[in-house]
Structure 1
Amino acid sequence: MNLLADLFIDGQWRPGSDGRRFDVTDPADLSTIAQFAVATERDCMAAVDAAAAAQPAWAATAPRERSELLRRAYEILTEEVEVFAELMVRENGKSWADAIGEANYAKEFFRWFAEEAVRVPGDYRLSPAGDKRIVVDRQPIGVSLLVTPWNFPAAMATRKLGPALAAGCTTILKPARETPLTAAYVVEVLRRAGVPRGVVNLVTPVPTGPLVKRMIDRPEVRKLSFTGSTEVGRELLHACADSVVSTSMELGGNAPLVVLPGADLDTAVEGALLAKMRNGGSACTAANRFYVHSSVHDEFVARMDAALAAVSVGPGLDRANDLGALVSVAERDKVADLVRTAVAEGATVVRGGRSAARGAFYDATLLTGVAHGSTITTTEIFGPVTAVVRFDHVDDAVRMANDTVYGLMAYVFGEEREAMAVARRLEAGMVAVNRGVVSDPAAPFGGVKQSGLGREGGSEGILEFLEEKYIALTA
């Protein structure tokens, strides 16, 4: 496989200006698979310059032309979907099933926003006073800085690039240093699809925080779209305040999963496995806290234990494995520390609770006797650990589910009418009822409280990269 490991600035792949590189590691065996170029301040400023120079012409490009470019990129990714997936397995460590699932999901954002590019809404109407015509136009917001995380290196890149390019914005993509190769591949696909010079740029700055802030400080940068932790999101919001840069943020999560009395346990366990184990639990939407009613608690735990016992752990390139490695040994150790702390606070390990001797693997783990408010229920686990809290009254489950500063995702399993009633009471931007996955390019993705600002995907996603302009005409 040809691994692109350079910066992409003004239509050219090139090394960083000082020649430094950093290692990209396969977390399954800890081998170095590439050395990626470091972006200096000079490189980051060159990327901003290129995007700013390309902005007027790209904004003036016909929506159909932007649409067809995204469609071509979608078609290339469709033809090369296994190449796409293998890159993620190698640098992220996830299982083959998770990687191929993400590859198919990621490319759909280019198809969806190819369609949205030609459907940007506007308005034209007579004012109530009858003295003017009100025209509302939507125009590209401008140069957009897109910062993506390591857990979904493909989908987070396409979910931001798709709407930005469809709206007529030029872009600077800053992927996580753990997973830059997937982002570079996406950018190369866009180059092959015909994206003009300067419209898409890719940088991997070191040190990251100060150089991202330097790009935000540039007056040409008018949009920041960030996916990552709430802690970093707060810092970036502060950075954006000085220049009043528009922000979209998908931040941390602490998703509750509620199993109500009378829930169909076949459905609940199947959904819980998806909600917890998809991407090895390394997802902001992953079920983090399981609130299970006493009447079904023991049977749910027994069924979940049996299901987790069947999960095979190992390198993602072996397609028979269900659970791959975490992205790094450091991430694996964070998960292990959380489990040890949970046990110290009174939880019982029913299954798992072990790290591999080599590689960033951690067993599928089930904890019971977990207390609401304990460390593991207030921390985003980001690993394959199911932490079960018993409850007796539905009102208590709702109270505990909402007892967090986060509000991205929630799950409810139960009889449909009761489950819908509980779903409406949960403080989350997205709720899954009797299912374990909600993500869809055609649906708005985002949270409330400290889980973010704005929405990605759906018809709403492109609006994040457009500004409204009101024009008054004589009636």
Structure 2
Amino acid sequence: MTVLDAALHPIVEAMSVPTELLVGGAWRPAGTGRRLEVSDPATGTVLATVADADSSDAAAAVDAAAAAAPDWAATAPRIRADLLMRAFALMHDRREELALLISLENGKSLADARSEVTYAAEFFRWYAEEGVRLRGQVGMSPSGANRLLVSYQPVGVSVLITPWNFPAAMATRKIAPALAAGCTTVLKPAAETPLTALAVAAILEEAGLPAGVLNVVTTSTPGPVVGTMLADRRTRMLSFTGSTEVGRLLLRTAADNVLKCAMELGGNAPFVVLADADLEAALEGAMIAKMRNGGQACTAANRFFVHADVHDAFVDGLVARMAAVKVGPGPDEDSQCGPLINAEAVRKVDGLVRDAIERGARAVVGGSPADGPGHFYPPTVLVDVPLDARILHEEVFGPVAPVVGFEREEDLLALVNDTEFGLVSYLYTADLARGLRLAEGIESGMVGLNRGLVSDPAAPFGGTKQSGLGREGSTEGLLEFLEAQYVATSW
């Protein structure tokens, strides 16, 4: 283990965070011996180095998952469930260490990181409970000639690819249903935040996970590594969370072997405030929907559509709240908004803000990158944003809130649905019937009605249009890792 930053020492000592590849139950270096640096986005300091896998390591991981598949598929659901419950308990016991680890390598505030650990652990508990309740069907064929028996079988070796913005939750949201379904897995976490995923894998090992059921490969060359895994005919499932651009590429690759795919891709969430909305509730919800993880979330509110009658009051309240947000390194207990993940993220966010301003928008607060070390961008509110501004059509992934006023409710759905994305939407109104009616017309997989947070392990998380395929969480998330098998018989 090579750890270069003293801030990690207590975590490493408490949790034994590994930094090698996990293949077939053994922690081993990459075949080439290469290492990948992991940096703190608040300071640029190198925190640690991890093994940097190549295609040969990827092939070995699939070998290990395929070898472990028959025994794990035959393991009783209760045994799998008990293991997931032990992992749930261990994550809770180590909540503070995990939160600090996330905050260091990801940059998010400790408050956000603690919430993520709680959320991430809950997927282990949810699928421990859900995995033992999966039932098939028995029925008579309509003709009466035979019986229809339907059961569910594990889909097989599953490749899980997770993003950097929620390194614990995105890992457990995929690992838990896969293991509960009886699938063996290869996890490829993001190169920016691999330490949290490795810590979660170590927790599962401690909980008693058999060798080869979960394999972890960290890499700086995801294209060849993932391509090797998807080209292996023993791989049967791909679960990916990331950008729509990368999702399209992976779908093309997965098509060669007709892999089952579940994808949670980009978003461009509208946040709608109607004239009758409770403004205080809408403002509180806006801060949650916009500023969770500093806006670096696929569920983040990206476009604010506010009725003209309440526009100015809403903007005043939002500006006051955004201006009061304390920006600083994630591990600082007082910080409410940490850095963006890297310099490229700052350039992208600033480019969108600059484009909007050049087209006529005004920055009421914020509006330019912060000075000094680290990848910081201040909370920003834009008003008078023209409809052709790029920021209304591209995922911002930063703490920027562009506000657009509207007057006619009949024009609202056209504005809201003017995007290729359809992950989540937010809507505030005092009239429940009106809210439900509008929600049915919004083209998104999820709607927060008078709520700024929609994520829940018990709910089906996913989008429509180019925001993805399939669902994670709920029973639907388990079914993604299963195939229905039908047997025709008579007795």
Q: TM-score range by the shorter chain?
A: over 0.9
The residue that corresponds to 2:446 in the other structure is 430
The residue that corresponds to 1:346 in the other structure is 360
Q: Distance in 1 between matches of 2:359 and 2:87?
A: 50
The residue that corresponds to 1:413 in the other structure is 428
1:445-460 counterparts in 2 under 5 A?
A: 445-460=461-476
Deviates most, 435-444 or 202-211: 202-211
The residue that corresponds to 2:284 in the other structure is 270
- How far off its partner does 1:121 sit? 2.1
- How far off its partner does 1:336 sit? 1.4
- How far off its partner does 1:354 sit? 2.9
Q: Distance in 1 between matches of 2:331 and 2:239?
A: 32
- How far off its partner does 1:68 sit? 0.3
3-state SS of the aligned residue for 1:13?
Answer: strand
User: Does structure 1 conserve the Cα–Cα contact (< 8 Å) formed by 2:326 and 2:336?
Assistant: yes
The residue that corresponds to 1:401 in the other structure is 416
Q: Structure 1 segments of 4 or more deviating over 4 A?
A: none
- How far off its partner does 1:408 sit? 0.3
3-state SS of the aligned residue for 2:33?
Answer: coil
Q: Distance in 1 between matches of 2:326 and 2:412?
A: 32
Amino acid at match of 2:456: D
Matched, 1:137 2:155: no
The residue that corresponds to 2:3 in the other structure is none
1:228-377 counterparts in 2 under 5 A?
A: 228-356=242-370, 357-377=372-392
Q: Deviations over 1:165-197 (max 9, x none)?
A: 000000000000000000000000000000001
Q: Distance in 2 between matches of 1:474 and 1:245?
A: 33
Q: Deviations over 1:211-234 (max 9, x none)?
A: 211210101100000000001000
Amino acid at match of 2:433: R
The residue that corresponds to 1:106 in the other structure is 120
Tell me the percent identity: 54
User: Does structure 2 conserve the Cα–Cα contact (< 8 Å) formed by 1:41 and 1:205?
Assistant: no
Q: Distance in 1 between matches of 2:218 and 2:110?
A: 26
Q: Deviations over 1:89-140 (max 9, x none)?
A: 0000001111001011000000000001101121001111111110001000
Q: Deviations over 1:31-83 (max 9, x none)?
A: 00011111111111000000000000000000000000000000000100111
The residue that corresponds to 2:41 in the other structure is 27
Q: Distance in 1 between matches of 2:95 and 2:439?
A: 36
1:129-278 counterparts in 2 under 5 A?
A: 129-278=143-292
Aligned residues: 475
- How far off its partner does 1:256 sit? 0.5
- How far off its partner does 1:463 sit? 0.2
Matched, 1:468 2:473: no
Matched, 1:388 2:395: no
Deviates most, 245-254 or 395-404: 395-404
Amino acid at match of 1:420: L
3-state SS of the aligned residue for 1:223?
Answer: strand
Q: Distance in 2 between matches of 1:396 and 1:14?
A: 58
User: Does structure 2 conserve the Cα–Cα contact (< 8 Å) formed by 1:260 and 1:419?
Assistant: no
User: Does structure 1 conserve the Cα–Cα contact (< 8 Å) formed by 2:62 and 2:229?
Assistant: yes
User: Does structure 1 conserve the Cα–Cα contact (< 8 Å) formed by 2:53 and 2:225?
Assistant: no
Deviates most, 6-15 or 203-212: 203-212
User: Does structure 2 conserve the Cα–Cα contact (< 8 Å) formed by 1:38 and 1:206?
Assistant: yes
User: Does structure 1 conserve the Cα–Cα contact (< 8 Å) formed by 2:21 and 2:53?
Assistant: yes
3-state SS of the aligned residue for 1:387?
Answer: strand
3-state SS of the aligned residue for 2:192?
Answer: coil
Q: Distance in 1 between matches of 2:285 and 2:219?
A: 39
- How far off its partner does 1:253 sit? 0.4
Q: Distance in 1 between matches of 2:380 and 2:219?
A: 36
User: Does structure 1 conserve the Cα–Cα contact (< 8 Å) formed by 2:162 and 2:242?
Assistant: yes
- How far off its partner does 1:4 sit? 2.0
Q: Deviations over 1:228-282 (max 9, x none)?
A: 0001000110001110000000000000111111111011101111010011000
Amino acid at match of 1:471: V
- How far off its partner does 1:210 sit? 2.2
3-state SS of the aligned residue for 1:145?
Answer: strand
RMSD between superposed Cα atoms in Å:
0.8
**Match 1:42 to one of 51, 56, 64:** 56
- How far off its partner does 1:420 sit? 1.7
Q: Distance in 2 between matches of 1:121 and 1:232?
A: 35
Deviates most, 236-245 or 333-342: 333-342
Q: Distance in 1 between matches of 2:369 and 2:488?
A: 65
The residue that corresponds to 2:68 in the other structure is 54
Amino acid at match of 1:322: Q
3-state SS of the aligned residue for 1:256?
Answer: strand
3-state SS of the aligned residue for 1:137?
Answer: strand
The residue that corresponds to 1:10 in the other structure is 24
1:92-103 counterparts in 2 under 5 A?
A: 92-103=106-117
3-state SS of the aligned residue for 2:387?
Answer: coil
Q: Distance in 1 between matches of 2:378 and 2:216?
A: 35
Q: Which sections of structure 2, spanning at least 5 residues, go unmatched? A: 1-10
Q: Distance in 2 between matches of 1:150 and 1:410?
A: 23
